[in-house]
Structure 1
Amino acid sequence: MDAKYKSLKEDFVSNLSGGSVWEMNLVTLVAPASVLLWSVLQSRKRAFTPYTIEACLTDCLLNCGAILFVTTIYSGYPAALNAFLLLPALVTYFSSPVKSEAGKPRPTPIRTGDGNAEKDETGIEKAPEQLPMKPFLTAYRGSMLVVTAVGILAVDFKVFPRRFAKVENWGTSLMDMGVGSFVFSGGLVSARSILREQLSGRKSSLLQRLRASLWHSLPLLVLGAIRLFSVKGLDYAEHVSEYGVHWNFFFTLGLLPPFMALFQSMFDILPSYSVLAILVACVYQSALDSTELTAFILTAPRTDLFSQNREGIFSFAGYLAIFLAGLGTGMYVLPRRAPPVPPWLRWLFPFDSVFGRLATWSIFWTILFSASTSYDLGGLEVSRRLANLPYVLWVSAFNTAQLTLFCGIEGSCFRDLHNSKIKDAALERKKAKEATSRVLYAFNRNGLALFLLANLLTGLVNMTLPTLHMGNLQAMGVLVAYMGVMSAVALALDAWNISVKI
């Protein structure tokens, strides 16, 4: 890569203050608005059953195109794009009745290929799972992965506003939220293994948990090493203040599961993983405030391996807190019904439903974030580079609020999805898939593999095209083609029933 162009790109991708939180709320509201319109069309019109070519294109336009547009050509008018999505959704919702095929449980269970109901190994018809597929979780994770895929490449074009790019030291931006949300959603999904262990009645030892987590982390660490050597070998433009000279996001992701396995033992002492997340974040923030750690991370010379990678090493504490917050959320979101609240916490969490619990936690995280950044109380600034306490609280508040919106959309459009009268697991899974965008399901199914593909395609585009010198029309052409390839690969893997485990 030309040295002058490389330097220009490093300066270009660096941002100083980011955008306002309220503007990002409008931008990120596009994902729930798109899912709402999709859900209304499906529940009222059965627009995506059967899944024809026209339905597929509409699905891609709603759940990928809208996110691409709001972060590029509509970045200055997020309210207008939200209105374009919400108005037809609301008109259709209130003017059209629910289709009986989508809204009512069918009396006959779904049959397997030989015409028999799905049965377990004992010959008994399978009951609905205790950890069922929930469309609103798929929509949340799928949308987050689409935003991530868009941002990875779009940031290299001028059509992508600088206020959305990662900040240098202090401030908030769309991509800073994307990084934290990726970690939060990873923690949410990791709760499944803990819940399965609890349901089985077996408790694995610390050694067994560490062995399993290290095996799960190995591919991510290998990917981190591959990225490190490829970036250095190809002289690819990078911003070392993001994670350090050698550290990258794959290393952070790869080290989270082993630390989670260690903290799992503390769950017997503390009431929830969310409380543990707050404790970890507060201890880390105390270290930042009471020592020279903040100055070391931000200004120290890079004289050895440790100081060269200080951002990645110390910010790991903040990302671990975010991961634990996601894990705590998954403990009450993933089960069929949220576990009951202990009597001594009933005053704080009066609702047992998943929606009520999510809404309460989103308010709780928001209050903590507001207190930490208030001039009269905490007076702290958000820093993704440090992954400090306000950053942890900001990410947790945003993601629980997003989950609340997606959960509310599912409950409004598909009210009988987990109806107690449904006794067949296959029937329930079929109903859940009918209530889920095929595109978002495909992105969620192979999330890490598609994240890797997005990084590879981004590198290819940047090595072959002068992205900084391309006009808006050319940039949009490249980005639309890129998202078309990403969507096609995701849908193809899903159609061929391939799950790439990384």
Structure 2
Amino acid sequence: MGQQQYIESLFYYLLNGNKRKDAGYYENLKQRKEDFVTDLAGGSTKDIYTVTSISVVSYLAWCIIKKKTNLFNGSNSRSLFSTLVDLFINWNNLLLSITIYSDNVTLLATLTLLPLLPVVFSPSAKEKTRARIVDLRNLTARQLLPFKPYITIYRSQMMIITCISILAVDFFVFPRRFAKVETWGTSLMDLGVGSFAFSMGLISARGFIRQKFSGKYNYFKNLFNCIKGVLPLLVLALARMISVKSLDYQEHVTEYGVHWNFFFTLAALPFLCNLFAPLILLVSPIVFSFLIGLFYEYLLVKEHLLTYIIIAKRDSIFSANREGILSLFGYFSIFLNGLALGSIILTVVPTPNNLFSLSTTKADIINAYRKKASLTTLTPLKGLIFYTILYQALYYVIDTCYVYNVSRRMANLLYVIWVSAYNCTFLLGFKLVENFVWGDVDSVEFVYSVGKRDDPKENSKIEARVAEEAKELSEKTVPNSLIALNNNSLVIFLIANLFTGLTNMNIDTLDCTTWQVIVILIVYESSLAGISLLLQHYGIKLR
């Protein structure tokens, strides 16, 4: 509730200055809202998987319509009707699953797929999966890192459910078991920052792979560029902190601390990755992640850090922000797990020893192509299966045998494994749907020319062909609304927070009827989708 309450107060302050509307009413309402999201225990991980599985069902439904009809093809794809169907399937289903259908997601999935049965059994043109032609001698960095549809689906769906949740949590139709827990337990919203960290790590692997492949990796240059890159996040973090203090706003300090907030955490992760890059590249991301996670768990349990986090006085800058600062151990481990998976699923061809090695050179790829692949070289599908089974098994064993439960507040080892297991599982789900409907779009045919190596003219042709292939593939396999959202996800997230503040300022969210809530949430999500589509229409990509 903290972030939403803060934005509500900020907007009220900006619009009304020092005037106050019925102070007694406002204070009482604010207290009721605080109580509404305080001391919650969460729910089961099974429930969370069940509710959010509608995202995979929705993607399957869209793929069936796309393949069997012309609704999303050609000029029809930009029509009002096709856009509304797109939004209903890929946005509204998620809204319904975490509100009025939260206790009966099976019914929602049935209602989504049942009308498509006539479409499923209707004839459609047979399509052959066309393999990419990859010339290893003239392989470019852009060709090595092609467009991956299921990753776009995963990141966009994660952003949709996050944006919906930050407003829906203020209404009674959003079950309390989905709201953030106080200290111990699992909930839907506790996945938020952890999934952001995992996704950020996954995409960050592209930079390391590209630089190592091209032989242009430079530690100090990367560190400097990273600092410049996270400045916007730092500005947002500082602006929020200063505004909170200047407005004398009451905060839920056990979430991150007195001064720390979500944006500080997001800004710190890329910096830590680039700071420790030599060690990460030497040891491997997955090994380094487990070393950090185990070390942090040792500090929590054996060195009484857990007790310190829960009951210590806030009598210094560090102790005042201990949750935010110390939880970086856990969030950094999650980031590294995403980085490790990225080394497997981002490339067009499995790079040598990609289970442990983050990146490699072109020469190593060519040499590996001539030899038999090792057990530590995995295809994207095998990599997703491996990591899903690994994290799910670890979570089951530790959750069964260990004395402590998941804690988002501390970002302990079990939280790290849970978040990693969840994200790998859903990435695998989207990948399986993609393969089932469209075939293996990662299929590659390797050739090895004897012509001139790294011919600039040939490379420019390859770059143009890769760009065209990416465009064709995205139009074929990804809903337009999700492409638009992925192009401006951070901007949409910020707008979602502003809309949440405006809604809370003007509406008594605790006393709305069910239909009032649903109408408000549909207008809210439609506005976010409309803004993202508008930005796409004008070719604006702010990320």
Matched residue type, 2:83 = C
The match for 1:358 is 384
Q: Structure 1's 44 and 209: CA in aligned 2 closer, same or farther, altered over 3 A?
A: same
Give yes or no for the alignment of 1:225 onto 2:238.
Answer: yes
Match of 1:56 among 76, 80, 83: 83
Give yes or no for the alignment of 1:261 onto 2:270.
Answer: no
Q: How many Å apart are 1:264 and its aligned residue? A: 1.5
Q: What per-residue deviation string (whole Å, max 9, x for no partner) do you get for residues 367-416 of structure 1?
A: 111222123xx333100001000000000011001110111111111226
CA distance in 1, matches of 2:474, 2:354: 33
The match for 1:250 is 263
The match for 1:163 is 177
Measured on the aligned residues, the alpha-carbon RMSD in Å equals 2.8
CA distance in 2, matches of 1:463, 1:273: 44
The match for 1:179 is 193
Q: How many Å apart are 1:426 and its aligned residue? A: 3.7
**Contact (CA 8 Å) 2:344, 2:378: kept in 1 or not?**
no
Q: What per-residue deviation string (whole Å, max 9, x for no partner) do you get for residues 261-305 of structure 1?
A: 0221113431x3122111111111110001121111112222232
Give yes or no for the alignment of 1:427 onto 2:468.
Answer: yes
The match for 1:47 is 71
1:67-466, aligned counterparts within 5 Å? 67-87=94-114, 92-93=119-120, 95-100=121-126, 105=130, 129-205=143-219, 207-234=220-247, 238-270=251-283, 272-341=284-353, 352-375=378-401, 378-415=402-439, 417-420=441-444, 424-434=465-475, 435-466=477-508
Determine what percentage of the aligned residue pairs are the same residue.
39
Q: Structure 1's 41 and 10: CA in aligned 2 closer, same or farther, altered over 3 A?
A: same
Give yes or no for the alignment of 1:38 onto 2:62.
Answer: yes
Matched residue type, 2:71 = A
CA distance in 2, matches of 1:460, 1:215: 31
CA distance in 1, matches of 2:70, 2:466: 22
**Contact (CA 8 Å) 2:97, 2:108: kept in 1 or not?**
yes
Give yes or no for the alignment of 1:489 onto 2:528.
Answer: no
Match of 1:11 among 35, 38, 43: 35
Q: Secondary structure at the match of 1:467?
A: coil
Q: What per-residue deviation string (whole Å, max 9, x for no partner) do you get for residues 91-136 of structure 1?
A: 744x245535x655599x9xxxxxxxxxxxxxx9999722111110
Q: What per-residue deviation string (whole Å, max 9, x for no partner) do you get for residues 171-221 of structure 1?
A: 00000012211111111111111111022122212x212101111111001
Q: Structure 1's 157 and 306: CA in aligned 2 closer, same or farther, altered over 3 A?
A: same
Q: What per-residue deviation string (whole Å, max 9, x for no partner) do you get for residues 73-98 of structure 1?
A: 111111221233344567744x2455
Q: Structure 1's 254 and 126: CA in aligned 2 closer, same or farther, altered over 3 A?
A: closer
The match for 2:542 is 500
Q: How many Å apart are 1:230 and its aligned residue? A: 3.1
Q: How many Å apart are 1:418 and its aligned residue? A: 4.4
Q: Structure 1's 179 and 344: CA in aligned 2 closer, same or farther, altered over 3 A?
A: closer
Q: Which moved more, 1:449-458 or 1:7-16?
A: 7-16
Q: How many Å apart are 1:234 and its aligned residue? A: 4.5
CA distance in 2, matches of 1:127, 1:249: 33
Q: Structure 1's 88 and 106: CA in aligned 2 closer, same or farther, altered over 3 A?
A: farther
Q: Structure 1's 125 and 16: CA in aligned 2 closer, same or farther, altered over 3 A?
A: closer
CA distance in 2, matches of 1:126, 1:183: 29
The match for 1:119 is none
CA distance in 2, matches of 1:492, 1:412: 32
Q: Structure 1's 196 and 466: CA in aligned 2 closer, same or farther, altered over 3 A?
A: same
Matched residue type, 1:414 = W
CA distance in 1, matches of 2:518, 2:356: 54
CA distance in 1, matches of 2:251, 2:103: 27
CA distance in 2, matches of 1:204, 1:47: 48
Q: How many Å apart are 1:474 and its aligned residue? A: 1.3
CA distance in 2, matches of 1:12, 1:463: 16
CA distance in 2, matches of 1:344, 1:264: 14
Given the two structures, how large is their TM-score scaled by the length of structure 1? 0.89
CA distance in 2, matches of 1:307, 1:127: 45
Q: What per-residue deviation string (whole Å, max 9, x for no partner) do you get for residues 303-355 of structure 1?
A: 23222211111111111111111111111111113324479999996883211
**Contact (CA 8 Å) 1:15, 1:163: kept in 2 or not?**
no
Q: How many Å apart are 1:255 and its aligned residue? A: 0.9
CA distance in 1, matches of 2:427, 2:205: 16
**Contact (CA 8 Å) 1:17, 1:167: kept in 2 or not?**
yes
Matched residue type, 2:51 = V
The match for 1:470 is 512
Q: Structure 1's 348 and 203: CA in aligned 2 closer, same or farther, altered over 3 A?
A: closer
**Contact (CA 8 Å) 2:344, 2:355: kept in 1 or not?**
no
Q: Secondary structure at the match of 1:253?
A: helix
CA distance in 2, matches of 1:70, 1:15: 24
CA distance in 2, matches of 1:344, 1:226: 39
CA distance in 2, matches of 1:336, 1:224: 37
CA distance in 2, matches of 1:474, 1:443: 26
Q: Structure 1's 27 and 348: CA in aligned 2 closer, same or farther, altered over 3 A?
A: farther
CA distance in 1, matches of 2:103, 2:411: 28
How many residues align? The count is 480
Matched residue type, 1:280 = I
**Contact (CA 8 Å) 1:418, 1:428: kept in 2 or not?**
no
Q: Structure 1's 343 and 487: CA in aligned 2 closer, same or farther, altered over 3 A?
A: closer
CA distance in 2, matches of 1:125, 1:212: 26
Given the two structures, how large is their TM-score scaled by the length of structure 2? 0.83
Q: Structure 1's 430 and 387: CA in aligned 2 closer, same or farther, altered over 3 A?
A: same
**Contact (CA 8 Å) 2:355, 2:378: kept in 1 or not?**
no
**Contact (CA 8 Å) 2:62, 2:86: kept in 1 or not?**
yes
Q: How many Å apart are 1:431 and its aligned residue? A: 2.2
Q: How many Å apart are 1:223 and its aligned residue? A: 0.6
The match for 2:367 is none
Q: Which moved more, 1:364-373 or 1:57-66?
A: 364-373
CA distance in 2, matches of 1:8, 1:421: 62
CA distance in 1, matches of 2:506, 2:214: 52
CA distance in 2, matches of 1:237, 1:71: 28
**Which protein is bigger by CA-based radius of gyration?**
2
